[in-house]
Structure 1
Amino acid sequence: MAMSAQTLPLDSCIRKGKLANGLTYYIRHNDQTPGQADFYIAQRVGSILEQPEQRGLAHFLEHMAFNGTRNFPDGNGGKHSVRNWCERNGIKFGADLNAYTSIDQTVYNISNAPVSKAGVTDTCLTILHDWAGSLLLKDNEIDQERGVIREEWRTRRSRMAAQRMMENAMPVIYAGSKYADCLPIGHIEVVDTFHYDTLRDYYQKWYRPDLQGIIVVGDIDVDQIEAKIRKLFSDNPMPIGAPQRTYYTVPDNKEMIVYTQADNEQPTLNFSLYMKHDAEQRQSRDTREAFLSSYKSRLAMFILRQRLAKLSHEAQPRVMSANCRVGNFYVTTEKDAFALNLGLMPNNPQVGIDAAIEIVEKARRYGFTAAELEHAKVQHTVNIEHRLDNKNKTRNAEYAKNIVSNFCNNEPCMNIEYEAALEAEFSATVTLDDINKTMAEIVDNQNQVCIVFGPTKYDGKPYTMPTSDQLKTWIESAQQREYTNDNTAQQVDPVFMKKLPKKGKILSKRATDNGYTEYVLSNGIKVSARHSDIEPNRLTINMFRLGGRSLYPDTDAPTLQFLNSVVKESGAADFDFLTLEKKRRGKALRVVPYIDAEEEGVKGVCVASDLKTWLQIMYLYLTNPRKDKAIFQNMITKQQSMLRNRNASPNVTYNDSLRVAVYGKRKRTQPLTAERMNEVNFDRIYQIYNERFSNLAGMHLIVTGDIRQDDFDDLLCQYVASLPGKRNSNNDCKPGQYTLNIQNGQVTKVFHKQMITPSAQTNIVYSAPIAYTADTDLKLDVLSQIMRGVYTEKVREERGGTYGVSVDGQFWKYPTDGCSMTVSFRCDPDKYDELLPLIDLNLQRMATEGPTIEQLQKVKEYERKNYQRAVLTNGWWEYVRYHQLREGIDFNRNYLQKVDSLTTDDIRQFCRQLTAPGNRIQVTMK
């Protein structure tokens, strides 16, 4: 580190300290969510420190933290367990109580703890203390957890072929390094057979105070928390002769390393090219110099990504996708790299590599333009200004995440005012020459590593992957080719509308429920506006009307599938999508027109001061969508390429089967195939789009957040009331006759498909014609949460049979009221027959006996606590208003009273209602 390096200051609101035994602590008061706090323990320990006989034990140990500690000796879910205490206090396992293991760190968290309740703060600290040095690691609990880890391994490998290929690539791309074999999931044979003491040795060796950080953020008294930490954690001894924590390096390579692999379950051809660089030394990562370097890299990558985006809009696409970044080399924080990531067209991969490298090479050799740099600076400034606006509304988890990065990786952890001032200074002083030099340093065509994952079949025939030699030749040839500097990018005119539409009128205005004001406009649109400073300078916007795809027959299904993406990517008025992005220079907003299954409209967010621009873009999309045949052809060609191998992934086959089983076999539920792509009609897309939006009467526009009252009414008249609409057009705004509905009766479909990692994947859908009300919706939610806990206990923990059982409930209003509960899990095929009966058995038991008082009380605690957090977001209030307008249901009214009044018999009776009709659809793929 240079002598002149200036260390960036730690956020002044954070109290950082260190105990005599080496333990570090961070405490920050944050009252964004009153009465709640987050508790973390971060360990500078991960799978990189394992010996060969310990591969997978860092991650295994993380699981064991929930299976018995000194003060909570029971296994996961037992009466005296960490999980049981947390859930009794509304801290849900998985959502609030969790942990993760990476290569270099292991982090545990107790989030959204209700510290306003007596004793919660002390108990959370006790749990962290137990995790730090008092895990019991009982023989029987270790053996029981082996099955859970096996199923986590199975789930990861079954879901994505890329996970398996990544494991195989590591020894090649990290040859000669500890990283050659270091992924946290480890070796399953070690997980199955390791001796108990091997895990205990790892724990005692690495879980120690000098590598541990305690983090507490929330509505707490900093002085009190500090005193408690000092008293509680000072007794953890630092082991004598403890080994040094080593951070391993990655060797350089003169010759390009190329790794290719084909997999039967990989549907696409994915290309990644890395150029490795030395990472910033750990001790200097929190310096001004490192932050400046990062700022320049971010600007360069922003511009380069914009140039690469043009490849996604060619009529004859040369790539499926193109992106780039600068950061960690693959999985390590100890080596940086520039990464160029491409989705290649399997029938001509070289042309895609050539196209992308040409863009990168021109940027490397000739740099960027002043207009491109200015645009990048402005967009970065907008992002940090948004964070600055919300400095008092930042959630505990965001602060905790930054502190973990500071403790584990010495990343800067400044307060937002200091960071904003620093970026403003850099923005004013960093020149185009600086960015061009940065680009040339980042992309130096040295130290290169190429990784290509691809399919074994394409278009029904065996696919021949490019060889390593071919790839190396293509890349180096493209990098050495002569290119002319043909980029003359200039700033685009920021004006969206040179001629404004004729204003409409506000006919009436009244206060309505939940703090909203309802406007009735002259064109038949109704506006619901709720002003709040919950999220300063931010608006969430949702315009919708019932109807959507359900109004169109099955013959239009292929066209409807492409409508949203074609319209959005084609742009509006005379501006293509990329031009629209550039025209909104300095403005933070997102505008997304859509036609979904049962409704149509526009969704988005924006900075409050940019509402005018948001409304202008919305107006252009609705009244003047741009027809771009090149964009359409681009999407069709790419989709046809993907469809030629779509069934390579077993998950695709499974989802196709599930959809048909649930909704019936009809053209609308059939998967899109390469042959059916010919049915997608460009003109029909815009015919349907214009039909849906030519008369906007009956639309509801919900605007929630920091509404600037001084010009809001005028903006509504100018851009919303002026939209085409016939106020008395008798638009009843209901879904049409083609709405999908879950089939009644019993359906069981079990089918077999060859898999590289064998598994049995199951979904069971229970449904019933229950009236959709706020009460029944709450009961379904509570039942789903209770059953999730039951299945976690009975299937995951007791049997070690699955990584997790998902339970999701859903209500609907159309075509008739009804609800469903879907239970899904993945397991070893050999355990399927043992586990499957537990799903029905435990649900029927719930319908007969109901939950215990304790089971219900746990969910009630979580619901109360979650509601307190939800009401502090714009999203909650928009959700409430949306459903009030859509279904006539007010989810906010007397919510806590509804939760408090729920009884175990309410849940039992609801479960009986759900199961009584006998509607059960099961789809299993083995």
Structure 2
Amino acid sequence: MRYRYWTSTGLLCLSMMAGYAQKVDQHSIIPVDTALHTGQLPNGFTYYIRKNTVPAKRVIFYLVNKVGSILEDDDQQGLAHFMEHMNFNGTRHFPQNELVDYLQKAGVRFGADLNATTSFDETVYQLPIPTSDPKMVSRGLDIMRDWAQEALLETDAIDKERGVIIEEKRLRIGLGERIQQKTFPLIVNNSKYASRSPIGIDSILLHFPAATIRRFFHDWYRPNLQAIIVVGDIDVNQVEQQIRKQFADLKNPPNERPRPDYAIELTGKNQFLQVTDPEIGGTGLELSIKHRVNKMNTTTDYLNMVKRSLFNQLLVTRIGELIQQPNPPFLDVNAGIKSLMNGLEQFSFSVSSKPGKLKEAFSIGWSEVEKVKRFGFTSTELERAKVAYLQGLEKTAREIDKMPSSNFVNEYMAMFLKGSPSPGFNWEYNFLKTVVPDITLEDLKDVANKYITNTNRDIFVIGNENDKNTLPDSSVIETWFNSVASSSMEKYKDNVTDQVLLNHLPVPGKVISQKKYSTLGIRQFTLSNGVNVWMKPTTYKNDVVQMMSFAPGGYNKYSNEEYPTAASASGIIAGSGVADLSPLQLSKVLNGKSASVNAFISGKSQGIGGASSLKDLETALQLVYLRYTAPRKDTILFENAMAQSREQIINHYKDPGNVFKDTVGAVISGYDYRSSPGTLARLDSISLEKAYDIYRDRFADASQANFVFVGNFDVDSIKPLLEQYLGALPSLNRKEKSVVIHKQIPEGKLERKVYTGKDNKATVLLVYHGDCQYSPENKVQLQALSDILQYRLLTSLRENAGEVYTPSVKANMVKEPDARFAINVSFGCAPEHVDHLIGLVEEDIKNLQQKGATADEVQKFKVGFQKQYELQIESNEFWMQFIAGQIENKEGLKELPNIEKQLGKVNGASIKAASKNYLSGKNLMHFIALPEKN
């Protein structure tokens, strides 16, 4: 479960229904998608149902309540969120904690799948379940019905949950929360929202009488404030009948309290605040110009939304060009129109500066905004933006029948909560194809004039506590604005390029051999230059081709002296463009195309990763060729990147979390030089010329490269393109081998306590590790042990002790460079509870070692693992990683792992043995972060 300070609804999501509609009137009411089945029961309960078969045999249930922290009485602060927790701690059909237990046995993971969220104005519960068993759909509706109005709210359960809520709140203690406590009242103009943080206040959370939360539940959990959303592989009519049967008897309370619509009034005034804190690194300015949102009802409203989208797209591109300037005074600049909360949107602007350069940084960034307001955009900029916008629309159209059910939910939630439209993709497609070409430069200038105004403006100057006396006040900031407004400036000149990616085609190679792996549906080509290509045609996406390559080498081949440059080489050089094209020019050349390719250099290999549409596969392959053969270096971009990195290093340890993280990393790696955090000395050793030479060297020989292609393509059809571009890659036949660096991981038991930060919280990380016998079967046993230990810790640390919000257990087993395993147990807690909680972890481990796992625990793991595997293998990403992993590990392309056989070996006894092996404590590291001592 989680809470949000506020929700931001961005641009209207494209609904997902293929097809074509008649041309629409630009001033008509936006229709409702005919694929969406919606209705309302006599008691006011609303439902939204849609059939969607991606993923197959799955359905998502959402219970949406127009109930949040804004409705709390003064003595109920935090109880909207507390109520969300209580719906998992005892309902009519699932008393105590039986709900989580029941769903885990059905393959639904707590936290990852089963979850809920509470905000100011709404509380939402989510439940994805399998539909292969029809009874599960009915059971899912039972759970929704229980959440709607059947919470037991037993006093003992309430008291046990108090500690869990406090620990969830503790996790949020830190710099971000402190900044928000200062800025949020201004953002909401000191409305009621300022005093209704969803997480609440300690004095109430710890001591409220049970009757107080029962009153909140009785008042607000009622059908006329609730809706159910059901999207998935279901029978719509059958689900509707079940909803009408199961939810019709929900009761609204007699003499019900009216549900107020709390507004954030716009005052017409400007507000200013300096925000300082010892943990803030650097100096920045944030601006928000607030506006009232017009409800989207008509096609004119929709068109205005599209204009704002194009405006943002163009402004982001303009702002992005500023980084091309030599030695800019800023580190980052951002601007655009965004949603805020509760009927408000904002034009936001932010800039972070180099030390002592805030005025100059602001002036350059805001001058770009002023230039847009004064002169607008150019016709060539607008045309590129339209092309890109419509290209994205066409891309969505091609994937319409592959959209997962989760993509629909936010739109239907907005429909219920905010009255937003949901017209369906067929309507949107035709509307946008009609109106986007007619949007003018004057339209976008009108957007700028509407949103970039001088009233309802909040400005926050943010800096470190030590710089408090040097930060500008509101009068100084006002002079900065006036200076930019009164300055003369030239219109923006768009440097249009007529360049192409390749002026001449390279000399192609040939396929000299090929092989089929029929059981896996994979084909392999060997090209004349030695390149091997592995191809897996799929239909998981209609028009996506994903690719990657890897070859032995990497930056491990370089000395420690060269390591900083070698490890940075791919980022420096690949980030500089290709051939004669800067990143800006490259983006213009690629505008309207769906093709992206980048390069990487890792410790033991180098290669590329990318994706494209089938139509633009040739463009992607041209990019691959250029990444190998025509790298580009850019002195300005390099120096700017180094300046940013320098400030990051200087401010790194102002964040207490970095102190702990770096300590953990240093100890686990045996204080390995290459695993240690960056320093100014290492940064200064990085050379652009050396990075360029290293990059060229790493990509000078493709003779050992393996390329993997996965997607919706015909192998024989793309063969000529592979020969033309991959076959033309340079081949030196160097027969390289990866350099394996063996880290000296400390053995035995050790403990490190790190005292960092002022906040009253602790972080615990227990690392069980050692050598192992690597095998797929052992990996499954290790994963089973990890998951089962997490079940137990969730019970002992959270449910029973109430001293932890969410304990985490993560396991990993690797084959290279050495066969090793690690199990990481981590949690946050109060400093005074550290020893007690570590003791509880040790008790759970000891119990596993003595008695093994229970049948229920084994069942939960098996079903959950199986369900996740079924979803994973139906994706291009799975096949990319599987093929690449098998080849790189030299394990061969055999059949997929026999998961059922592997799971069949998991039982109580095997977990007992695994716990003795992997959790023996022979090699155990304790890391504990505690507040700084006074």
TM-score using structure 2 length: 0.93
* Aligned counterparts, 1:43-62, within 5 A: 43-62=65-84
1:555 partner SS = coil
SS in 2 for 1:427: helix
Which of 151, 154, 169 is 1:138 aligned to?
A: 154
What is the match of residue 150 of structure 1?
166
Aligned residue for 2:101?
A: 84
Residues in 1 aligned to 2:420 and 2:567: alpha-carbon distance in whole angstroms: 44
1:232 and 1:493 map into 2 onto residues whose CA distance is 64
Which structure 1 residue ranges, 5 or more long, are not aligned?
A: 76-80
Q: Please show how residues 17-416 of structure 1 align to structure 2 within 5 Å.
A: 17-75=39-97, 81-111=98-128, 113-158=129-174, 161-281=175-295, 285-329=296-340, 332-416=341-425
How large is the Cα RMSD of the aligned pairs?
2.0
- The 1:323–1:894 alpha-carbon spacing in structure 2 relative to 1, beyond 3 Å, is same
Give the match for residue 509 of structure 2: 504
Shift of 1:465: 5.4
Taking the aligned partners of 2:901 and 2:33, their CA distance within structure 1 comes to 40
Segments of 4+ moved more than 6 angstroms: none
Counterpart-to-counterpart distance in 1, 2:385 and 2:520: 40
The corresponding residue for 1:750 is: 753
CA contact (8 A) 2:315 2:336 kept: no
Q: Name the residue aligned to 2:7.
A: none
Query: What is the CA-CA distance between 1:18 and the residue it aligns to?
Result: 0.3
* One of 616, 620, 629 as aligned partner of 1:614: 620
CA distance in 1, matches of 2:426, 2:646: 49
Identify which range, 132-141 or 436-445, moves more after superposition.
436-445
Aligned match of 2:916 = 912
Distance in 2 (alpha carbons) for counterparts of 1:921 and 1:312: 43
Q: Select which of 772, 775, 778 maps to 1:773.
A: 775
Structure 2 matches for 1:347-746, cutoff 5 A? 347-457=356-466, 464=469, 466-469=471-474, 472-493=477-498, 495-512=500-517, 514-709=520-715, 711-727=717-733, 729-732=734-737, 734=738, 736-738=739-741, 740=743, 742-746=745-749
- 1:554 is paired with a residue whose SS is coil
Q: What is the rounded CA distance, in whole Å, between the counterparts of 1:849 and 1:474 in structure 2?
A: 73
- Counterpart Cα distance in 2 of 1:163 and 1:608: 46
Tell whether the 8 Å contact from 2:53 to 2:233 is kept in structure 1 after alignment. yes
Distance in 1 (alpha carbons) for counterparts of 2:150 and 2:27: 40
Task: Please say if residues 358 and 478 of structure 1, whose CA atoms lie closer than 8 Å, have aligned partners that are also in contact.
Answer: no
Q: Is the 8 A contact 1:162 1:453 kept in 2?
A: no
Equivalent residue for 2:763, pick from 761, 764, 771:
761
- More displaced 10-residue stretch of structure 1: 422-431 or 545-554: 545-554
Q: Is the 8 A contact 1:34 1:219 kept in 2?
A: yes
Please give the alpha-carbon distance, in whole angstroms, between the structure 1 residues aligned to 2:618 and 2:363.
42
Question: Deviations 1:626-646 (Å, cap 9, x if unpaired)?
Answer: 111111110111111222221
For structure 2, list consecutive stretches of 5 or more residues without a partner in the other structure: 1-24
Q: d(CA) in 2 for partners of 1:82 and 1:478?
A: 62
Q: Distance in 1 between matches of 2:403 and 2:321?
A: 35
Aligned residue in 1 for 2:792 = 790
Work out the percentage of aligned pairs sharing the same amino acid.
Answer: 28
Aligned to 1:78: none
Instruction: State the Cα distance separating 1:309 from its structure 2 match.
Output: 0.6
CA contact (8 A) 1:56 1:184 kept: yes
Amino acid at match of 1:157: I
Counting only pairs closer than 5 Å after superposition, residues 885-900 of structure 1 correspond to structure 2 as 885-889=887-891, 892-900=896-904
Cα gap change, 1:710 to 1:440, in 2 (>3 Å): farther
Q: Distance in 2 between matches of 1:40 and 1:524?
A: 53
Where 2:673 maps in the other structure, the secondary structure is: coil
Deviates more, 1:357-366 or 1:384-393: 384-393
Query: Alpha-carbon deviation of 1:15?
Result: 0.5
User: Could you tell me whether the CA contact under 8 Å between 1:788 and 1:806 is conserved in 2?
Assistant: yes
Conserved 8 A contact 1:774-1:891: no
> Aligned in 2, Cα 1:199/1:346: closer, same or farther, shift over 3 Å?
farther
What SS does the aligned partner of 2:672 have? coil
* Aligned equivalents of 1:145, 1:864: Cα separation in 2: 32
- Is the contact between residue 517 and residue 529 of structure 1 (CA under 8 Å) also seen in structure 2? yes
TM-score when normalising by structure 1: 0.94
Deviation at 1:583, TM superposition (A): 1.2
Distance 1:146-1:272 versus aligned 2 partners, 3 A rule: same
Could you tell me how far 1:464 is from its partner in structure 2?
A: 4.2
Q: Is the 8 A contact 2:84 2:123 kept in 1?
A: yes
Residue type at the aligned position of 1:593: A
> Any conservation in 2 of the 1:173–1:259 contact (CA below 8 Å)?
no
Change (3 A) 1:851 1:716: same
Deviates more, 1:170-179 or 1:297-306: 170-179
Name the SS of the counterpart of 2:765 in structure 1: strand
Cα distance in structure 2, aligned partners of 1:127 and 1:647: 46
Task: From the superposition, tell whether residues 741 and 109 of structure 1 become closer, same or farther in structure 2 (CA, over 3 Å).
Answer: farther
What is the distance in 1 between the residues matched to 2:912 and 2:615? 50
Offset of 1:222 from its aligned partner?
Answer: 0.6
Aligned residue number for residue 924 of structure 1: 928
User: CA, structure 1 residues 443+806, in 2 after alignment: closer, same or farther (shift >3 Å)?
Assistant: same
Q: Deviations over 1:458-510 (max 9, x none)?
A: xxxx5645243255325422442323233121543362111111111111111
Q: Tell me which residue corresponds to 2:868.
A: 866
Q: Distance in 2 between matches of 1:438 and 1:669?
A: 49
For 1:770 and 1:437, locate their aligned partners in 2 and report how far apart those are by CA, in whole Å: 66
Task: Give how far 1:318 is off.
Answer: 2.1
**Structure 1 stretch 236-245 or stretch 503-512: which is displaced more?**
236-245
Counterpart CA distance in 2 for 1:89 and 1:506 is 49
Mean Cα deviation higher: 405-414 or 517-526: 405-414
Conservation of the 8 A alpha-carbon contact between 1:170 and 1:181: no
Report the 3-state secondary structure (helix = DSSP H, G, I; strand = E; otherwise coil) of the residue aligned with 1:645.
helix
Q: CA distance change for structure 1 residues 473 and 501 in 2, over 3 Å: closer, same or farther?
A: same
Instruction: Tell me which amino acid in the other structure corresponds to 2:576.
Output: S
- Deviation track 1:141-183 (CA, whole Å, cap 9, x = no partner) reads 111111111111111124xx12221122222333341222233
Distance 1:700 1:250, change over 3 A: same
- C-alpha contact 1:287 1:412 (8 A) present in aligned 2: no
For the Cα contact (< 8 Å) 1:29–1:220, is it kept in 2? yes
Contact 2:567 2:602 in 1 (8 A): no
Q: Distance in 2 between matches of 1:800 and 1:919?
A: 29
Note if contact 2:539-2:711 (Cα within 8 Å) is conserved in structure 1. yes
| Alpha carbons of structure 1 residues 664 and 58: separation in structure 2 relative to 1, 3 Å | same
Question: In 2 relative to 1, CA 217–900 (structure 1 residues): closer, same or farther, beyond 3 Å?
Answer: farther
Shift of 1:740: 4.0
Letter in 2 for 1:297: R
